Amino acid sequence: MKIAFALAGALLATVTMPVSAQSLNFAGLNGDAQELVLEYYNGGTGSLGSGPGTNYGISFSNNAIACSVQPGGNCNSAALPTGGNLLFFLTGAASTMNVAGGFNTGFSFYYSAVNNPAFVNVYSGLNATGSILATINLPTTQNGAGVPGCFGANFCPYVPIGVTFAGTAMSVDFGGSANQVAFADITINSATPGNPGVPEPATWAMMIGGFALAGAAMRGRKAVASFA
């Protein structure tokens, strides 16, 4: 019985912790000045010296900027779901996010693509190399100019989207037409954007198994006492 309880306790100790997820909302960067993200989430700074940010082992290519969501601001956006700044890319066909430690339990974000569709590719290697583990095609979204709560901003409202995939991802391309798509609350290791503390379904299953094991041990104890 003691062994059963010990096993149940060990199982619960290991599985009731939330899946490690990181939600990037770019709030610590100077969005009013369109600061490049660069190494901010790699324990470093953005292009204007903001930081150091939290060291998630995540870095961005040199065309990825953080942009303010103030109505009438330089990114013409408003009403982000959970605050912070936006991610835009101003040159090239995509901006790339590298995740040195890799991730494999999901990926998600909010986006707004008013004029042109966009896409996101998840790769097995760094710098958009290796195999493509997932592709998310992003259709155009509603123009927020006449939408209540968007205050006349075009990039608004935002659409949540997430994906799961097999294998370990090391990088992500955020693509489309430069300066025509905005991303927000990019979340690693969760298929729900901006919600990094929720255990994944497999974790819930293991938790239930742990409680069942503890319950079985208690029933066995009662049976022994009755027999005695």
CATH of domain 21-196: 2.60.120.260
Half-sphere exposure of 40 (CA within 13 A, CB side): 25
Please report the pLDDT score of residue 132 as a whole number.
Answer: 97
pLDDT at 180 over 80: yes
Pairing of strands 118-125, 129-138: antiparallel
Polymer length of the chain: 228
Q: What are the two backbone dihedrals, phi and then psi, of residue 32, each rounded to the nearest 5 degrees? A: -65, -30
The identity of residue 41, as a single letter, is Y
The more confidently predicted of residues 202 and 49 is: 49
CA 206-207-208 angle, to 5 degrees, is: 90
Q: Give the pLDDT band (50/70/90) at residue 139.
A: very high
Lowest mean pLDDT among 152-166, 187-201, 202-216: 202-216
Angle between helices 2-15 and 201-227 (to 10 degrees): 160
Highest mean pLDDT among 13-22, 24-33, 124-133, 194-203: 124-133
Please report the pLDDT score of residue 71 as a whole number.
Answer: 60
**Residue 164: its H or E element:** none
Half-sphere exposure of 2 (CA within 13 A, CB side): 0
The CA distance from 130 to 114, in Å, is 31
Tens of pLDDT, residues 123-137: 999 999 999 999 999
Mean pLDDT in the chain?
80
pLDDT at 73 over 70: no
Domain chopping of the chain, boundaries = 1-18+199-228, 21-196
Token pair, residue 42, equals 């790699």
Q: What's the pTM?
A: 0.76
Q: Give the pLDDT band (50/70/90) at residue 227.
A: very low
Q: What's the rounded mean pLDDT across residues 60-76? A: 83
Highest mean pLDDT among 128-132, 145-149, 154-158, 212-216: 128-132
